[in-house]
Amino acid sequence: MLNPFPQLLVYGFFAPLLLRATVACVLFFVAWHVHQKASILASITFPLVGKTRPWLMRLAASATALAGATLLAGYATQWSAILGILVALKLVWLKKELEPALKLPTSTYLLVLVICLSLLVTGAGALAFDLPL
């Protein structure tokens, strides 16, 4: 079947930009809420690590915000996408424990996971500092 709007295919290079911005917004949201509720989350017993400290929760929030910032800027996109994948897997796995801080549904984290996998394979797209070799 022919494309109904073949003129729009020229702008396909901007699609990863929209995906990067979307994932960055979700990661900033997660980082902000984890940072705000660090003391509450520190009192929760997590699998494998047990209880944590508030500074460790703030460190995790900083790593999440760093991943969001580098994705938004398009710098080291594949490394940032890997970090985004790890964050999304952590959020899906620890959904019940993180319930007091994060109210997003699991489907949001799965979409972030899929978008980060897509960015890992396709690259940064337009308006990025990454240069394909």
The predicted structure's pLDDT at residue 133? 63
What are the C-alpha distances in Å from 127 to residues 11, 60, 64, 102?
12, 28, 22, 31
* Mean pLDDT, residues 13-36 taken together: 95
- Residue 56 pLDDT > 70, yes or no? yes
Name the residue with higher pLDDT: 117 or 2: 117
Please, which pLDDT band fits residue 131 given cuts at 50, 70 and 90?
Answer: low
- Residue 45 pLDDT > 90, yes or no? no
User: What is the value of pTM for the model shown?
Assistant: 0.90
The predicted structure's pLDDT at residue 33? 94
